[in-house]
Structure 1
Amino acid sequence: MERPRFRAAFLHPRFWPLWLGLAVLWLITLLPYPVLLRLGRALGWLMLRVAGSRRHIVRRNLELCFPALPVAERKRLLRENFASTGIAFFEMATSWWWPASRLRKLAHIEGLEHLRQAQADGQGVILMALHFTTLEIGAALLGQVHTIDGMYREHKNPLFDFVQRQGRERHNLDATAIEREDVRAMLKVLRAGRAIWYAPDQDYGRKQSLFVPLFGVTAATVTATTKFARLGRARVLPFTQERLADGSGYRLVIHPPLADFPGESEEADCLRINQWIEQAVSRLPEQYLWAHRRFKTRPEGEPKLY
């Protein structure tokens, strides 16, 4: 896709409310990082009380994935998850607008040698990530030290789409934004030895998925990771990130490439990926994006879970 360009149409009065909101958000990002964390938690507290449908989805997901947890612990996770989501709003803004030097101080990156080794070997990389609430700032921090291409879905509001893409791509001056449905472009990029951020942990429907267990619940799981790795001749490197509890920033970990992947079947690969997802999410459940209806698509004859 071409680089985002400013258009005179963005000055139309219908965009003025969004311009005002963006200006206020930019001013807020000038505050110290600890203050932004506190503001994010306050925003999460407000969201918890007004976002009834999303609150129900988060609560239901926690019930399905952690049935053995005491009710009180699941309630605590619910509160902390909304706090993390509120913080993510300001993390998004800082990743777009903070000076690179200021942003870089928050990064604690491990395993970068796995990316560089693949690049040296001329192999593409599927950077297999997850939808943690920290995904926006995590991608920005990693993008400062290594070019990452990304799957992209255009936002309905053209001004917001412009601001979002400009904010994201400033960390990767030679990065490529690939339409989510453009498989041919993704394979081309992988075969050219580049790295692509890709997350296989959401429900994309029955057509492109297999049903395998996730946290003991049958889940529609995309088979694209296997197809991309095989056809793109790429390595799959799991990638995780976390917001550090001491307020010092973020720990980003690029894990070693999955051995013998793709495996003997797409089903075995999907199960292996879901088992990795379980481990990563169980370690930081409060920072995961539980507001997605992960178990929306059901096998024939099974009742809806939401």
Structure 2
Amino acid sequence: MKKKYRKLPRNTDYAAYRHPRWWPTWLGIALMWLVAQLPIRLQWWLGKIAGLLAWKLARSRRHIAEVNIRLCFPELNQQQQAALVRNTFIANGIGLLELGIAWFRNPKAFRKMTTVHGLEHLESALNTGHGVLLLGGHYSTLDLGGTLVTEYIEADVMQRDHNNPLMNAVMTRARERRYGKVLAARDLRGLFRSLKDNRAVWYATDQDYGRKDIVFAPFFGIPTGTITATSRIAERSKCQVVPFSHFRRDDGPGYDIYFHPALENFPSGNDLEDATRINATIEQEIRKAPDQYLWMHRRFKTRPDRDDPGFYGRKRKKKR
């Protein structure tokens, strides 16, 4: 059963977590630290094992990934889809172990195995003086990719806090060492301050956030709930929106980071058109390495009509 924690304000002071209730979490953190010191090839091997175990045992998450991949890659036959599901768990298992690298290792040690493409696009966007939204996605290299990015640019990050307050403290402190500011997901004032200071801010829109302030734009050909906040932020701040992504190489330990030209004529004044462009941009990046995306998330949970049957097999409760 998933452990629930009373909602607490963000507290990154480790002294607040001395009580024995936190000792199991400290033990897990210590294990993460130890694994992070291992050679990266060994970490990738351990991550593969962890991913395969999750593929075997995490049936509900595997079901979600199977549904998502069946919906998004109808051109693949059943065997190819099954292989992609398996590889997705492997990639995300490796990504889980890479959290330790991102949180506890110096990213300079990995600079030699990292290649950055299109950095000039970000520099050009920053020259406008209104800040940049780095339009990212939930790839399996999420934390490590972001850490490696900060070796080349100064950036801030928006994050959804971890449900476990101690894990959140470790995550936040680690990110504060790499990024300029670590902003809460709903801290729009902080976001606008960063953009006003001509900062680059990591920002992702590719999850299901419910029905509030969304439009249904195509994502892999499926009408998908997509937030309109990106258009509102760009309209108000005059910032540039620069798509970027980061992937693990298949041919050996190494990483690629991609920056693309800022979206032109954005926002357009049409929320659906803007959301369609954003989804198409993220989809294009996912197709570079489909297995390295977080397909375990119920991206298509919110349907255009409340009475539409869900894709994931759970019946919807009718509101009284």
Asked if these proteins are the same fold (TM beyond 0.5), I'd say yes
Q: What secondary structure, in the 3-state scheme, does the structure 1 residue paired with 2:45 have?
A: helix
Quick one: distance in 2 between partners of 1:156 and 1:240? 26
Quick one: distance in 1 between partners of 2:276 and 2:257? 24
Q: 1:231: how far off?
A: 0.7
Deviations 1:84-105 (A, max 9, x none): 1100111111011112331323
Q: 1:272: how far off?
A: 1.2
Deviations 1:90-140 (A, max 9, x none): 111101111233132332112222222333332210100111111111100
Q: Which residue, out of 23, 28, 35, partners 1:28?
A: 35
Q: Which residue, out of 16, 19, 31, partners 2:23?
A: 16
Quick one: distance in 2 between partners of 1:10 and 1:3? 12
Instruction: Provide the residue aligned with 1:56 in structure 2.
Output: 63
Q: What secondary structure, in the 3-state scheme, does the structure 2 residue paired with 1:237 have?
A: strand
Q: How does 1:94-243 map to 2 (within 5 A)?
A: 94-172=101-179, 175-243=180-248
Structure 2: runs of 5+ lacking an equivalent: 1-8, 313-320
Between 94-103 and 226-235, the greater mean CA deviation after superposition: 94-103
Q: 1:287: how far off?
A: 0.4
Which amino acid letter does the alignment assign opposite residue 166 of structure 1?
R
Q: What secondary structure, in the 3-state scheme, does the structure 1 residue paired with 2:61 have?
A: helix
Distance 1:18 1:222, change over 3 A: same
8 Å contact kept, 2:122–2:260: no
8 Å contact kept, 1:114–1:254: yes
Which amino acid letter does the alignment assign opposite residue 128 of structure 1?
L
Q: 1:141: how far off?
A: 0.3
Which amino acid letter does the alignment assign opposite residue 18 of structure 2?
L
Q: How does 1:236-255 map to 2 (within 5 A)?
A: 236-255=241-260
8 Å contact kept, 1:191–1:233: no
Q: What secondary structure, in the 3-state scheme, does the structure 1 residue paired with 2:34 have?
A: helix
Quick one: distance in 2 between partners of 1:295 and 1:183? 26
Instruction: Provide the residue aligned with 1:66 in structure 2.
Output: 73
8 Å contact kept, 1:298–1:304: yes
Q: How does 1:80-95 map to 2 (within 5 A)?
A: 80-95=87-102
1:282 aligns with 2:287: yes
Q: 1:265: how far off?
A: 0.7
Quick one: distance in 2 between partners of 1:247 and 1:15? 37
Q: What secondary structure, in the 3-state scheme, does the structure 1 residue paired with 2:287 have?
A: helix
Identity of aligned residues (%): 42
Instruction: Provide the residue aligned with 2:6 in structure 1.
Output: none
State the superposition RMSD in angstroms: 1.7
8 Å contact kept, 1:151–1:198: yes
Q: Which residue, out of 289, 302, 305, partners 2:308?
A: 302
8 Å contact kept, 2:156–2:202: yes
Q: 1:278: how far off?
A: 2.1
Q: 1:20: how far off?
A: 1.4
Quick one: distance in 2 between partners of 1:153 and 1:99? 23
Which amino acid letter does the alignment assign opposite residue 86 of structure 1?
G
Structure 1: runs of 5+ lacking an equivalent: none
8 Å contact kept, 1:188–1:232: no
Which amino acid letter does the alignment assign opposite residue 36 of structure 2?
T
Number of aligned residue pairs: give it: 303
Q: What secondary structure, in the 3-state scheme, does the structure 2 residue paired with 1:136 have?
A: helix
8 Å contact kept, 2:214–2:227: yes
Quick one: distance in 2 between partners of 1:199 and 1:192? 20
Q: What secondary structure, in the 3-state scheme, does the structure 1 residue paired with 2:308 have?
A: coil
Quick one: distance in 2 between partners of 1:165 and 1:43? 24
Quick one: distance in 2 between partners of 1:299 and 1:177? 33
TM-score computed with the length of structure 2 as normaliser: 0.90
